[in-house]
Structure 1
Amino acid sequence: MRVSRLSVVVAAVVSAVVVVVGSEGAAVAGAGGAAAGGGGHEVDLAFHGDVTLRAGVVRVRFVPRNHGPSDLADATVRLRWSLPLVGVRRLPVGCLRSGGGGVLCRTGALEAGSLGEPVEIAARVAGRPAEVRVRIGTEWSGGAVDRNPRNNEQSVLALDTGDVYYF
């Protein structure tokens, strides 16, 4: 088999990139881990709840949960509506508006294996839409590592039927 000089150079560069990226990932995981006492402890945040839409009013209810293995001092959840919010009925304590179609909420401290306080938000969206998409996800977790992000990023399409859509 004949190997060109270019093939050797490309293989060397790819190997160097893999070593550098691999070692940086290991350094980050090791430096922030719970054993090192850093802020990068491991948690598994999840958000479960429901969404309804009726006559332009979207109601979102959810409960944050930390599946562990570490406790979490606090986290921030971002909720985004596919349409601008034109009226929000009293935000819960620990929540605030973020842009035209978003709300940020604190979870508060979550021990490993525990549920947080339920959060409920009712908001009017622009117009009388037949459907609205609500996205719910972790915005900030204090540097904690979540190796299972599938359960902390939700997207729910609610139709203007008054039906409950669970996530």
Structure 2
Amino acid sequence: MEVVTVTVRRGVVRIVVPVGLVLGLVLAGAAAPAGAAQAAGAVAPGAGAPEADVAYHGRVSLSGGRLAVWVVPENEGPAALANTTLRLRLSADLAPGQELAQGCARAGQREVICETGTLPAHGQGRHIGLRLRLKEWPPEVVVRLDTWWNGGATDRNHANDERAVLALDTGDAYSF
């Protein structure tokens, strides 16, 4: 997957997004045919935003400076979504130079973003599995999960798409 990185030094802003997402946003803002914007997963200008209820379920475990995260994105409806982006924020720094799962990219020292793929109404997206090495071996890590981008959909229930999980360095799996 090709990734575009934008860094602004003075504003300390760093954005990492999949190229397809950038193209979808450009198409949505340009005078492109409505079909092209919808095909890119964007909401056409002037169109009503679809309503969806994105939720995340899975488990997290920490053992010896290695964090395992397994996430199943779900859409409880009523509309299907072409793609969304899950954001994972950690309370500890990630080790440099590690390979991530397909569709995932680092978004900072403590952040990873992953595309979910298509989320059908009342269905699941692709399962996301990450094995992350941490810079140090902390006794615990807080993993925060939320939706970073949802294509402009309306989600009235954020209680199930924003999670915080405390994982102790025991190797035990903590479900959410």
Count of matched residue pairs: 132
Q: Report if the CA contact (8 A) 1:88-1:122 is conserved.
A: no
- State the shift of 1:141 in Å: 0.4
- State the shift of 1:125 in Å: 1.3
Q: Structure 1 residue 108 and structure 2 residue 120: aligned?
A: no
Q: Structure 1 residue 136 and structure 2 residue 148: aligned?
A: no
Q: Report if the CA contact (8 A) 2:62-2:169 is conserved.
A: yes
- State the shift of 1:71 in Å: 0.7
The 3-state SS of whatever aligns with 1:150 is: helix
Report the aligned-residue RMSD. 1.6
Normalized per residue, which structure has more helix? Answer: 1
Normalising by structure 1, we get a TM-score of 0.75
- The sequence identity of aligned pairs, in percent, is 47
Deviations 1:26-59 (A, max 9, x none): xxxxxxxx9xx82511000001000000001010
Q: Report if the CA contact (8 A) 2:93-2:136 is conserved.
A: no
Q: Structure 1 residue 160 and structure 2 residue 169: aligned?
A: yes
Partner residue of 2:72 out of 63, 73, 85: 63
**Gaps spanning 5+ residues in structure 2: where?**
1-42
**Aligned twin of 2:58:** 49
- State the shift of 1:88 in Å: 6.4
Q: Structure 1 residue 84 and structure 2 residue 88: aligned?
A: no
**Gaps spanning 5+ residues in structure 1: where?**
1-33
Q: Report if the CA contact (8 A) 1:87-1:123 is conserved.
A: no
Q: Distance in 2 between matches of 1:165 and 1:88?
A: 26
**Highest Rg: 1 or 2?**
1
After TM superposition, what 4+ stretches of structure 1 lie above 6 angstroms from structure 2? none
- State the shift of 1:87 in Å: 4.6
Q: Report if the CA contact (8 A) 2:143-2:165 is conserved.
A: yes
